[in-house]
Amino acid sequence: MSDPVQNGLDAMRRATCEALERAPGAGSGDPVVTVAAPGRVNLIGEHTDYNDGYVLPAAIDRWVVMSGRRWGGSEVWVRALDRQEEARFSLDGLSPDRAGELPDWARYVAGTLWSLQLEGFQLEGMALAFTGSVPQGMGLSSSAALEVATGQLALTLHQAELAPLRLAQAAQRAENQFVGVACGIMDQFTATLGEAGHALLLDCRSLEYRALPIPETLTFFVVHPPQGRTLAGSGYNRRRQECEAAAQLLAQAKPGVKALRDVTSDDLRFLEARVGESFRGHPVATLHRRARHVVEENGRVLALAQALEQGHLETVGRLVSESHQSLRDLFQVSTPTIDRWVEALIHLPGCLGARLVGGGFGGSILAVVRREAAGAFQDQAANLTEGGEAAHLFPCRPVDGVRVLGMVSKSET
């Protein structure tokens, strides 16, 4: 039987290889390598990763596929097939100061190569082309998938190796320091270390993790209502600053606090007593809300992991919905559109719970659905509209992290 997922990967591989035939220096005889890195959906644990907390993501069957070949020198040529755009830059003197010279999308590629250079790799010029099935702007980490694909491809082309965790950290550094988005490690970690059929319970401080099997009785749907979102232009970085300020203020009462991971519900009383004040330009009332979300969300992550292991599906759904309520009321990153859709989805057949996923201010919704009702849920969700437009809706399944799809000689491309 034909595998539609594999067929999709094969089609994207062919498209990127064909794009390389139109690259400058296409006559090079160097072999072409293709890699695929997945997007991710986070079951629970939103805005906890950069607070040294816990998260529970899974890599999903949507990918960024990139092909490339070495061509010597120091120049990199890269084509984004979905945008029909190209960019060129030199590896010599590559630094975050030069990020502004590049299109937004090319900064993820250049930043990752810059980060690999910081790891000590001597990279040569390359011709690269990529496409993908990870929808952009939906909170599914298309940027992390692009970074991890770039990193793995560059390493493979140079016959070099880097431990998966180090690759994830290099990709995160690219997004933090080159692109300028203060993300945590979760997205790049999942794109690198995802396991088929499993979610990853990740401690973002120690980076210890364990893979938890997803019960076969569950199906995950991603629902993206019609709307727009841009992470770098949103309040994501502001929320991170608020969390850092909350931790700094709490450290006055509890010196061992280095991040909100170290805070308990009892510790929050210190902030409650100062809600009429400000701290480093932030109302303490706001800092209290942000800290409370992180503290309670960490607890929900651990509780949901236990519920998965015990097969308590109703508990899984309840915790997912509670996470959304906290993101809406305490962390204040939801939108009226997202809230309306969450409320509508949880009343559809088989839906156990739903919540906003991603950095917020738009994005997508994760719906946790009983497998036997998945068809009815999908049919009815497809009929929901916003302003006369239907949502982008699809089921997803957990898959492995970044992989090399193959290597072919010039004559085979």
Identify the DSSP state of 357: E
Kind of pairing between the strands at 75-80 and 126-132 = parallel
pLDDT score, position 50 = 92
State the Cα–Cα distance between residues 125 and 251, nearest whole angstrom.
48
Res. 216: pLDDT tops 80: yes
More confident residue, 5 or 305: 305
381-409: average pLDDT: 91
Residues linked to residue 399 through DSSP beta bridges, in sequence order:
none
- pLDDT band at residue 145, thresholds of 50, 70 and 90? very high
Q: What angle do CA 141, 307, 299 make, to 5 degrees?
A: 70
Residue 137 is predicted with a pLDDT of 75
In angstroms, the CA 343 to CA 354 distance is 8
The DSSP annotation for 281-349 comes to TEEHHHHHHHHHHHHHHHHHHHHHHHHHHHT-HHHHHHHHHHHHHHHHHTS----HHHHHHHHHHTTST
Q: Which residue has the higher pLDDT, 222 or 358?
A: 222
26-47 core/surface letters (b: 16 or more CB in 10 A; e: else): eebebebbbbbbbbbbbbbbbb
Task: Say what the pLDDT of residue 181 is.
Answer: 86
Contact 32, 408 (CB under 8 A): yes
Q: How confident is the model at residue 2 (pLDDT cuts 50, 70, 90)?
A: low
Active-site residue identified among 49, 52, 61, 187? 187
Q: How far apart are CA 17 and CA 413, in angstroms?
A: 6
How much is the pLDDT for 236?
80
Give mean pLDDT, residues 44-57.
Answer: 95
Percent of the chain residues past pLDDT 90, beyond the cut: 84
DSSP string, 175-237: IIIII-----SHHHHHHHH--TTEEEEEETTT--EEEEEPPTTEEEEEEE-S----GGGTTHH
Tens-place pLDDT, residues 84-115: 999 999 999 999 999 999 999 999 999 999 99
Identify whether 187 is a catalytic site residue.
yes
pLDDT at 311: 93
**Which tops the pLDDT comparison, 312 or 229?**
312
pLDDT interval class at 209 (50, 70, 90) = very high
Q: Take residue 65 and report the two structure tokens written for it.
A: 């596929």
* pLDDT above 90 (res 136): no
Q: Among 19-33, 133-147, 322-336, 398-412, which range has the highest average pLDDT?
A: 322-336
CB atoms within 10 A of CB 388: 6
Q: Is the pLDDT of residue 413 over 50?
A: no
Going from the C-alpha of 248 to that of each of 242, 243, 255, the distances in angstroms are: 10, 9, 9
What value does the mean pLDDT of the chain take? 93
Question: Tell me, what amino acid is at 177?
Answer: Q
Looking at residue 80, its pLDDT comes to 97
The verdict on pTM exceeding 0.85 is yes
